[in-house]
């Protein structure tokens, strides 16, 4: 690409700040022209490195391998675990591996990955810029996890934060309480002679549930799509204990993990007596629970809940916070608490 062309694309990116994506009134006096821009995705300026952009970029940071954050970039910047998962999902992408806490320099930007606590290998991105420091959380969660490295927040001038559960109805019970709830209900189902069938996201949640169960003496059988990812976890150094692929029949005393959509409308092939579990933060939502009221709903989430989101902003203590995902009302919640907060489309 010629220098002239590059300048034009940067200017276009700057223009995005003044287009309807973020109106001047929405930007307010403290806007950060020249630091980052949105253009159907987020870009660091002036280099235009993509940040979790879902279409191919020359250079793109990938916070984790959920497909709403990844693309087959010319050069993908990510942690080692994410690199393995991205390659599994998207083929042979060229990656530059980032180690947590160690800055690398790319296109003139010092970039540091910090643990995000969302899934194993998930990362936030910190950069020092002449306009100020910027922390991008990607999907994140505070506190302990059976499989994800605990999130490490740091102070930054500007914070771009995922706010999926940015409504007070999403105040989740503590991880200890939820883990107990899961173990107790699964154990009870086994005692009743049923096969506990747990539906969970293939990447991340399935492995965390597996680890929770196996480290409490409950072996796990996995749907092939889950098993493939679990093997990558193992190869990347996250041991999941006693798990095997599900081979068409349940084994007494074992739990089964399947993707969120049922394998067959009738339930699990080969199993007569099934008790179904949904393990998701959306279990806090009555409407969701009512969609399958006979099933067990366990509110174990890999996203920060409402209180954790507020706590994250306090800890980072930014001049401005930009919210992505989640309800727009969360911006008001932050403003009420005295923060300079805006919605970032
Ligand atoms: Zn995610
Ligand atoms: Zn996401």
pLDDT of residue 34: 86
CB burial of 113-142 (b: ≥16 within 10 Å; e: otherwise) equals: bbbbbbbbbbbbbbbebeeebbbbbbbbbb
User: What tens digit of pLDDT does each residue of 33-87 get?
Assistant: 789 988 889 999 999 999 999 999 999 999 999 999 999 999 999 999 999 999 9
pLDDT of residue 22: 42
Residue 138 pLDDT grade (very low, low, confident, very high; cuts 50, 70, 90): very high
Q: How far is the CA of 142 from the centre of ligand 1 (A)?
A: 14
Q: CB within 5 A of ion ligand 2: which residues?
A: 66, 68, 139
Which has the closest alpha carbon to 93: 104, 105, 103, 78?
78
pLDDT at 18: 32
The rounded Å distance from CA 106 to ligand 1 centre is: 24
Domain with CATH 3.40.50 in the chain: 175-298
Do 277 and 296 contact (CB within 8 A), yes or no? yes
Whole-model pTM? 0.90
CA distances, 342 to each of 174, 209, 331 (Å): 29, 35, 6
- What's residue 209's pLDDT? 98
Residue 266 has pLDDT above 80, yes or no: no
Q: Residue 331 burial (CB < 10 Å; 0-12/13-18/19+)?
A: buried
Percent of all residues in the chain with a pLDDT value above 70, rounded to a whole number: 89
What is the location of CATH 3.60.15.10 in the chain?
Answer: 3-169+304-343
Question: Any alpha helices (H) in 172-285, and if so which ranges?
Answer: 175-191, 205-214, 224-235
- Dihedral angle of Cα 26, 21, 82, 223, to the nearest 10 degrees: 110
Q: What is the mean pLDDT of residues 291-315?
A: 96
Q: What is the DSSP pairing of strand 109-115 with strand 123-129?
A: antiparallel
Tally Cβ neighbours within 10 Å of residue 109.
20
Distances (CA, A) of 22 to 30, 103, 269, 344: 13, 31, 50, 7
Instruction: Assign a CATH topology to domain 175-298.
Output: Rossmann fold (3.40.50)
Ligand in nearest proximity to the CA of 52: 2
| Helix (H) or strand (E) run with residue 279 in it | strand 274-279
Least confident among 76-80, 161-165, 262-266, 328-332: 262-266
pLDDT of residue 272: 82
Query: What does the pLDDT read at residue 17?
Result: 36
Distance 317 CA to ligand 2 centre (A): 23
Residue 268's pLDDT is: 80
**Mean pLDDT across the chain, nearest whole number?**
89
Planar angle of CA 306, 51, 128, nearest 5 degrees: 90
Task: Quote the ligand 1 centre to 64 CA distance (angstroms).
Answer: 7
Q: Which one of the ligands is nearest to 325 CA?
A: 2
What mean pLDDT is predicted for residues 179-196?
97
Ligand 1 centroid to 194 CA: how many Å?
31
Helix or strand or coil: residue 280? coil
**How close is the Cα of 15 to the center of ligand 1, in Å?**
29
Q: Is the pLDDT of residue 12 over 80?
A: no
Mean pLDDT across 299-320: 97
Ligand nearest to the CA of 64: 1
pLDDT for position 74: 97
The conformation of residue 59, written as its DSSP 8-state character, comes to E
Ligand 2 center from residue 5 Cα (angstroms): 32
Q: What percent of the chain has pLDDT over 90?
A: 81
- CATH code that applies to domain 3-169+304-343: 3.60.15.10
How much distance in Å is there from the Cα of 139 to the middle of ligand 1?
Answer: 5
**Token pair recorded at residue 104:** 């690398």
Sign of CA dihedral 147, 152, 157, 163: positive
132-148: average pLDDT: 97
Q: How far is CA 7 from CA 14, 32, 47, 111, in A?
A: 10, 18, 10, 22
What's the pLDDT band for 274 if we cut at 50, 70, 90? Answer: very high
């Amino acid at each position: 690409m010629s220098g002239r062309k590059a300048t034009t694309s940067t200017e276009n990116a700057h223009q995005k700040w003044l287009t309807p994506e973020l109106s001047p009134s929405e930007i307010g006096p403290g806007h950060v022209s020249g630091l980052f821009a949105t253009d159907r995705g987020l870009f660091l300026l002036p280099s235009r490195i993509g940040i979790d952009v879902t279409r191919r970029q020359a250079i793109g940071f990938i916070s984790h391998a959920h497909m709403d954050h990844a693309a087959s970039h010319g050069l993908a910047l990510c942690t080692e675990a994410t690199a393995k998962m991205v390659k599994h999902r998207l083929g042979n992408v060229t990656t530059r591996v980032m180690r947590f806490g160690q800055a690398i320099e790319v296109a003139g930007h010092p970039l540091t990955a910090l643990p995000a606590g969302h899934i194993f290998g998930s990362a936030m991105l910190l950069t020092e810029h002449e306009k100020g420091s910027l922390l991008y959380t990607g999907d994140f969660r505070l506190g302990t996890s059976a499989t994800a490295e605990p999130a490490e927040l740091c102070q930054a001038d500007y914070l771009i934060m995922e706010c999926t559960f940015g409504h007070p109805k999403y105040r989740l019970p503590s991880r200890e309480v939820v883990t107990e709830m899961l173990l107790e209900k699964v154990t009870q189902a086994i005692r009743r002679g049923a096969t506990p069938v747990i539906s969970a996201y293939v990447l991340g949640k399935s492995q965390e549930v597996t680890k929770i169960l196996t480290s409490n003496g409950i072996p796990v059988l996995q749907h092939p799509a889950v098993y493939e990812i679990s093997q990558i976890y193992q190869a990347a150094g996250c041991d999941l204990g006693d798990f095997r692929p599900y081979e068409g029949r349940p084994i007494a005393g074992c739990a089964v993990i399947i993707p969120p959509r049922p394998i067959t409308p009738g339930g699990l092939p080969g199993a007569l007596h099934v008790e179904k579990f949904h393990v998701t933060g959306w279990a806090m939502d009555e409407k969701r629970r009512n969609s399958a009221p006979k099933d067990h709903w366990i509110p174990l989430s890999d996203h920060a809940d409402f209180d954790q989101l507020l706590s994250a902003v306090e800890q980072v203590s930014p001049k401005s916070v930009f919210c992505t995902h989640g309800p727009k009302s969360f911006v008001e919640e932050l403003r009420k608490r005295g923060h300079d907060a805006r919605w970032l489309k």
